[in-house]
Structure 1
Amino acid sequence: MKKVLVLGAGKIGRIVSVMLHESGDYAVTLADANGQMLEVCAPDGAATLVKVDVTDEATLREVASGHDAILSTCPFYLNVAIARVARDAGASYFDVTEDVETTRAIREISKGAKGAFVPQCGLAPGFISIAAHDLFKRFDKVRSLRLRVGALPQNPTNRLKYNLTWSTDGLINEYLNPCEAIHKGKRIEVLPLEGYERFTIDGTEYEAFNTSGGVGALCDMLDGKVDSLDYKTVRYPGHQEILKILIEDLALGQRPELMKDIFEKSLPMTSQDVIVIFADAIGERDGYLCEENFIRKVHGTKIGPRDWSAIQVTTSAGLCAVMDMVLTGTLAGKGYIQQEQVTLADFLANRFGRYFQPES
């Protein structure tokens, strides 16, 4: 039985522990500095619970010793130190960060590592890049590759038409930081909240706009191979306009901690959410201009004894599936591995990746 250390006992760390425990093939240790959060996870009976401050690298090294893999569900700014510990422990490393600079630092740390290092393997970045790369491979030449993902409340009631469903730090990070893209065959950075568009899926209208991090490493992999590539976050119409008032007109973009406080005290959490995934490619195949897309809507489901939200299921499934593929040998390699190296067919066939299969 493989030993896995999950760091962070929040929304994602908890379900990751349950998901791995339910498989019957993993012995899980769940660690967090917050004892109250560990107490919340205790009734699951899915993991050995350990209270540890992940910023204390010496103590973390002791806890990490003997584990085959370390999965970080911690805020992005803690992951560089965690990756160093994983490398020294000889363990494989996985996270769900959306932060570009953190991922670049982890790539450097992974050089010469005994285990595989796979950052950004949640939903977006993560699964959306796997789906988009699968579309890319179906063409002789790709003109445009578009990635769109949203975690949305099923029944929005406020003017933002939004509820908190995941890390507030990660949410604000993607709203404020520059975004990677490819335009006219060249890599560029574009501004967050720009590139506004609207589209409809199954009769429901959505808006989308630039946000940071969701493209993962696709710009590295497809640089010079596509004319245009971009990632945008999906919301219900009206969200972006209010965000621009808050971030630009009221200058909350210069005070992210205040913005976080306002969001967490004003926007209720919900487990009644839906994940909207849309990837689209236009290109040439056999001399013809063609278009193909990948569309999924994912709702929450029951795993183990309780129900989980859609964002919890998709983020944890992406993380667990890639880790499972590495530890079972389906995905081979040491050091830095891009999630785009995972084939969509292998991912969807995985016992954890199956949560992305079409809903019946």
Structure 2
Amino acid sequence: MQRIAIVGAGKIGGMIAAMLSASQSYDVTVLDRDQAQLDRLRGAHPVNRVRVDIDDEAALAAALSGMSAVLNAGPFQLTTRIARAARSVGAHYLDLTEDVASTRVVRGLADGAPSAFIPQCGLAPGFITIVANDLAKRFDTLHDVRMRVGALPQFPTNALGYNLTWSTDGVINEYCEPCEAIVDGRLQQTMPLEELENFALDGIAYEAFNTSGGLGSMCETLLGRVRNLNYRTIRYPGHAAIMKTLLNDLGLRDRRPLLKEIFETAIPVTMQDVVIVFVTVTGMRDGRLMQESYANHVRAGVIDGVPCSAIQITTASGICAVLDLLMEGGLPEKGFVRQEEIALDAFLANRFGRHYVTA
């Protein structure tokens, strides 16, 4: 049985622990600096719980010694520290970060590593990257690749049309940091919350706008092969206008701790959410202009006896499926591994990836 460490006992880390322990294929240890977080872990199957100061890299490395793989479910600010600790003990490393700068550091750590480094194994980047690359491979010539993801409350009740479903720090970061895109064949930086578009799925109106990090390494992969490539976050109409007022007009872009406090004080958490994945690719095939799309809704449910939000299910099942594929020999076992190297069919056939298969 493979020994697996999960760093971070929050909403996502706890869900990963529940999934892996329920599979009875992994000996799971969860590490966190907060004993209360460890005590709140739920699930029908036991996991090991270790309190460790994540800021102490020597202590963290000691706690990770002997692990086959380290799954980072901590906040994006700790990504590089946890990745360095995994590198020092020779363990495989997987994370969920959407932070572009952190991923660059992880890629550097992967150079010459005896183990695999697979960042961005969640929903976006992660699953949406796998889907987009699968669709893109079906074309002789690519024109446009549009990737859209949203984690939304099923029953919105405030002007933002939003409830907290995952990391507040992560949401703020993706609303504030520059975005990557390919525009007319050239790699460009675009501004978050811009290029607003409106659309409908199943009769429900949505908006989508630029946010940072969702493309993963797709710009590098498709540069020179696609005319336009972009990623946008899906929200209910009106959300972007309010966020631009908060961040730009009220200056909270430069006061992120205050914005986080406001969010976590005023916006309730919900477990009744829905994750929307929408990818559209256009291009030439057999001399004809063609379009293919992928649309999916994943809703909240119960895993291993634990009520789970849709964002917990999709994010945790993503990294668990990639871990399974790695341990089964289906992915490179050394160096940097991109999400685009994961086959969609293999992912969806995996016992964890099946959570994305809806009736």
With normalisation by structure 1, the TM-score equals 0.98
Write the distance in 2 (CA, Å) between the matches of 1:276 and 1:35: 34
Structure 2 residue matching 1:171: 3-state secondary structure: helix
**1:173 to partner: Cα distance:** 0.2
Instruction: State whether structure 2 residue 276 is matched by structure 1 residue 276.
Output: yes
AA in 2 matched with 1:323: L
Alignment of 1:311-326 (within 5 A): 311-326=311-326
Partner of 2:9: 9
**1:81 to partner: Cα distance:** 1.3
Partner of 2:153: 153
Partner of 1:52: 52
Do the aligned partners of 1:17 and 1:46 also contact (CA within 8 Å) in 2? no
Alpha carbon RMSD of aligned pairs, Å? 0.9
Structure 1 residue matching 2:40: 3-state secondary structure: helix
Structure 2 residue matching 1:14: 3-state secondary structure: helix
**1:45 to partner: Cα distance:** 4.2
**1:42 to partner: Cα distance:** 5.8
**1:54 to partner: Cα distance:** 1.2
Instruction: State whether structure 2 residue 244 is matched by structure 1 residue 244.
Output: yes
Partner of 1:347: 347
Structure 1 residue matching 2:227: 3-state secondary structure: strand
Partner of 1:79: 79
**1:237 to partner: Cα distance:** 0.4
Partner of 2:230: 230
Do the aligned partners of 1:42 and 1:49 also contact (CA within 8 Å) in 2? no
Do the aligned partners of 2:145 and 2:281 also contact (CA within 8 Å) in 1? yes
Partner of 1:125: 125
Q: State the Cα deviation string for residues 83-129 of structure 1 (Å, max 9, x = none).
A: 11111111100000010000001100111111110011100010000
AA in 2 matched with 1:208: A
Q: State the Cα deviation string for residues 136-165 of structure 1 (Å, max 9, x = none).
A: 000000100000000000000000000000
AA in 2 matched with 1:266: A
Alignment of 1:283-302 (within 5 A): 283-302=283-302
Structure 2 residue matching 1:123: 3-state secondary structure: coil
Do the aligned partners of 1:32 and 1:51 also contact (CA within 8 Å) in 2? yes
Write the distance in 2 (CA, Å) between the matches of 1:219 and 1:198: 24
CA spacing shift, 1:165–1:185, aligned 2, 3 Å: same
Partner of 2:111: 111
Structure 2 residue matching 1:5: 3-state secondary structure: strand
Partner of 2:265: 265
**1:286 to partner: Cα distance:** 0.2
Percentage of matched positions with identical amino acids = 50
Q: State the Cα deviation string for residues 297-334 of structure 1 (Å, max 9, x = none).
A: 00112111121100000000111111111111112331
Q: State the Cα deviation string for residues 15-42 of structure 1 (Å, max 9, x = none).
A: 1001001111000000100011111116
**1:285 to partner: Cα distance:** 0.2
Structure 1 residue matching 2:271: 3-state secondary structure: coil
AA in 2 matched with 1:248: N
Partner of 1:174: 174
Write the distance in 2 (CA, Å) between the matches of 1:110 and 1:7: 19
Partner of 2:93: 93
The ranges of structure 1 where at least 4 consecutive aligned residues each deviate by more than 3 angstroms after the TM superposition are: 42-46
Q: How many residues align?
A: 359
Write the distance in 2 (CA, Å) between the matches of 1:106 and 1:24: 29
Do the aligned partners of 1:168 and 1:260 also contact (CA within 8 Å) in 2? yes
Write the distance in 2 (CA, Å) between the matches of 1:289 and 1:131: 20
Write the distance in 1 (CA, Å) between the matches of 2:355 and 2:42: 25
Write the distance in 2 (CA, Å) between the matches of 1:248 and 1:8: 32
Write the distance in 2 (CA, Å) between the matches of 1:352 and 1:225: 32
With normalisation by structure 2, the TM-score equals 0.99
AA in 1 matched with 2:292: E
CA spacing shift, 1:147–1:258, aligned 2, 3 Å: same
Unmatched 5+ stretches in structure 1: none
Instruction: State whether structure 2 residue 39 is matched by structure 1 residue 33.
Output: no
AA in 2 matched with 1:343: A
Partner of 1:68: 68
Structure 1 residue matching 2:142: 3-state secondary structure: strand
Do the aligned partners of 2:150 and 2:233 also contact (CA within 8 Å) in 1? yes
Write the distance in 2 (CA, Å) between the matches of 1:340 and 1:165: 26
Partner of 1:327: 327
Instruction: State whether structure 2 residue 183 is matched by structure 1 residue 183.
Output: yes
Write the distance in 2 (CA, Å) between the matches of 1:306 and 1:17: 11
Q: State the Cα deviation string for residues 239-297 of structure 1 (Å, max 9, x = none).
A: 01111111111111111111111001000000000000000001000000000000000
AA in 1 matched with 2:192: P
Do the aligned partners of 2:206 and 2:234 also contact (CA within 8 Å) in 1? yes
